[in-house]
């Protein structure tokens, strides 16, 4: 028999799984559609088993099925007060950290890459990530000056290292 705290946590997880299943099914169906509508390249006499969208199409079917199974399982779990508890999870410091990471990733991907050389965008992302998580979202008091020095050093080494490894060693042209 579960304690009330364990039952509440199980209810929250069940509702979180239900929401996650909606996202997975939506993503899977979107990828399926985009894969299905990709050019098949019949004019070039390409074999149907080697079409560009085949692997994403197969993976999207798997993602959609897993999302449906997760949704079915979480729908069957009794979750008294699960939605209220789930709403409370989004007001925690951990949820704020996740949102900041998502925001930084979107800024890096949608704004910085393409506007700046990739190495500079990577350096800015790494620098901002370290400074935000070492000062503003830190668990304890941290001196911003020491974080600043580490952030600059790691950003320069990380951004430069990414450039050197991919552009010079693997010969991959970065955006």
Q: Which of 112, 151, 145 is nearest to 130 (CA)?
A: 151
pLDDT, residue 91, reads 79
pLDDT, residue 67, reads 96
pLDDT, residue 4, reads 73
Q: Contact, 155 vs 128, CB < 8 A?
A: no
pLDDT, residue 1, reads 60
Question: What is residue 31's three-state secondary structure?
Answer: helix
Residue 141 sits at the vertex; the CA angle it makes with 135 and 144, to the nearest 5 degrees, is: 40
* Residue length of the chain: 175
Give dist(CA 149, CA 140) in Å, integer. Answer: 18
Other C-beta atoms lying within 10 Å of the C-beta of residue 17: 18
Ranges of each domain in the chain: 1-90, 92-174
User: Which residues in the chain land under pLDDT 70?
Assistant: 1-2, 7, 43, 81-83, 85
Cα 141 from chain centre: 29
pTM of the complete model beyond 0.75: no
pLDDT, residue 58, reads 95
pLDDT, residue 3, reads 79
């Amino acid at each position: 028999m579960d304690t009330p705290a364990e039952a509440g946590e199980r209810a929250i997880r069940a509702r979180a799984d239900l929401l996650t299943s909606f996202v997975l099914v939506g993503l899977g169906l979107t990828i399926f559609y985009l894969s299905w509508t990709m050019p098949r390249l019949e004019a070039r006499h390409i074999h149907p088993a080697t079409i560009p969208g085949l692997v994403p199409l197969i993976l999207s079917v798997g993602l959609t099925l897993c999302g449906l199974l997760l949704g079915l399982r979480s729908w069957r779990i009794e979750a008294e007060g699960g939605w209220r508890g789930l709403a409370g999870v989004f007001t925690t410091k951990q949820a704020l950290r996740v949102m900041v990471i998502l925001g930084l990733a979107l800024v890096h991907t949608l704004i910085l890459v393409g506007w700046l050389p990739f190495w500079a965008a990577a350096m800015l992302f790494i620098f901002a990530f370290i400074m935000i998580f070492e000062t503003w979202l830190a668990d304890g008091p941290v001196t911003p000056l020491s974080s600043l020095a580490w952030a600059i050093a790691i950003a320069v080494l990380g951004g430069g290292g990414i450039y050197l490894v991919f552009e010079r060693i693997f010969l991959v042209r970065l955006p």
